[in-house]
Amino acid sequence: MRKSTLIKVAAQSILRNKLRTFLTMLGIVIGVAAVIVMVAVGYGAQTSIQKQINSLGTNMIMVMPGASVQGGVSMGSASFNRLTVADVEKLQRESQLLLAVSPVVNGFAQIIAGANNWRTRIEGADTSYQTIRDLRFESGSWFSEADVRAMRKVAVLGETVANNLFPDGDAVGQQIRVRNVPFTVIGVLASKGQTMGMDQDDVLMMPYTTAQVRLKGRSFLGQIVASTSSPAEMPAAQDEIRSILRESHRLSDADNDDFTIGNQNELADAVKQSTQVMTMLLAAIASISLLVGGIGIMNIMLVSVTERTREIGIRMAIGARGRDVLTQFLIESVVISVFGGVIGIGFGFLGAALVGFITGWSTVTPPEAVLLAVGFSAAIGIFFGFYPARQAAALNPIQALRYE
């Protein structure tokens, strides 16, 4: 029997029982739609987190204080601080791979502006910090080298701080007090949003010299940040930083680093791995409905074989071979699965958009997920349709003709 004839006969059989065909497809439709929605949610979360990490800065490398050990007991990360401005200057002089380097002085303080006040994070930094963190401005500007050298009392506010201290107008040019020290606001940063649960806009920035002398009263730095011209240079730049700082701190080969180096790509990779596991888990749970749909196809096809036993006997009696019957039933099963998969893709995109609209989550449907869903639905049709098709092909023509 020709393939075109087999396809025509299979299509006629499917269309003969429209309601049964629709109900059989329903399991595949729901399964494919569920897989696409779950994958879209997982990939959307991954994309959203990646954007948040990228907003931290441009190819940023972070150097943090190391851990101290007392009586054989580690006191934890950042418990031993030997990072100084001299380290930054040495990195600026000797590094061949770093595009920019900035010291960072960290702290928290209560900020007062007229009748309003707000507790926020303080970051003292150099002029290059703007480039490293890729900071943009809503109004005003960044402080200058002259401001850093003169330890001027100037401040740049994050959007959250500006909105809370100056809800009725522009903060630029206004006076604020930080630990009772008067500062002039020279800029308001454009919003960067939330990153890993932290509000990047809840910050006040000032020259690191001002923060050291007028606020912190000590010479050690909370952090050193640097950037490279491309992500590919980051591993080599980290090795270079490690070598320069070990020399600066006069560490021997036997000594452990008294600092910790990390970069945003490492954080991004860790997050990517965790979100990929989550996406796979969600897709695996949703795939259970595809298996249920496949079992439904097998049951319906078995019923169809029973109902069409005499028809099968007649076909065999006039020359149809067993493999022709097998192919016919397999085609019916695959067509039902594939059509169900295609319809499921449409509902999957609609469901993903609906989830994003209702929850506000970012949803992204990768093309490979669509191809995988269609391929998997076709495989379900072949796998669960094979047993009923083989049962039909194995019928004895004489017994099939006598079947009532």
pLDDT tens sequence for the chain (404 residues): 455 665 666 666 666 777 777 877 787 888 888 888 888 887 777 777 666 666 666 688 889 887 544 444 444 444 456 788 999 999 999 999 999 999 999 889 999 998 899 999 999 999 999 988 888 999 999 999 999 999 999 999 999 999 999 988 889 999 999 988 999 999 999 988 776 667 889 999 999 999 988 776 667 888 899 998 888 888 899 999 999 999 988 888 888 888 888 876 666 666 667 666 776 776 677 677 777 777 777 777 777 766 666 666 666 666 667 676 777 777 777 777 888 888 888 888 888 888 888 877 777 777 777 777 777 777 777 777 777 777 776 666 656 555 55
Selection from 309, 385, 304, 391 nearest residue 340 by Cα = 385
Q: Across 239-311, where does the E strand assignment appear? A: 259-263
Contact in structure between 304 and 291 (CB atoms under 8 Å): no
The pLDDT score that the predictor gives to residue 148 is 94
Question: How, if at all, do strands 98-113 and 223-228 pair?
Answer: antiparallel
Characterize 280-305 residue by residue with b for buried, 16 or more Cβ atoms within 10 angstroms of its Cβ, and e for exposed.
Answer: eebbeebbebbeebbebbbebbeebb
Joined together, the tokens standing for residue 279 give: 């996406």
The pLDDT score that the predictor gives to residue 152 is 93
Every domain of the chain and the residues it spans: 3-52+270-402, 81-257
Contact in structure between 388 and 70 (CB atoms under 8 Å): no
Distances (CA, A) of 312 to 80, 139, 306: 83, 80, 10
Characterize 261-278 residue by residue with b for buried, 16 or more Cβ atoms within 10 angstroms of its Cβ, and e for exposed.
Answer: bebbbebbeebeeebeee
- Residue 237 CA to its chain's centroid (Å): 26
Selection from 155, 201, 148, 197 nearest residue 176 by Cα = 155
Q: How far apart are CA 304 and CA 12, in angstroms?
A: 13
Contact in structure between 257 and 80 (CB atoms under 8 Å): no
Helix (H) or strand (E) holding 32: helix 18-54
* Amino acid present at 104: V
Instruction: Please report the sign of the dihedral spanned by the C-alpha atoms of residue 373, residue 379, residue 384, residue 389.
Output: positive
Radius of gyration in angstroms for the set of CA atoms belonging to the chain, rounded to a whole number? 33
Contact in structure between 227 and 59 (CB atoms under 8 Å): yes
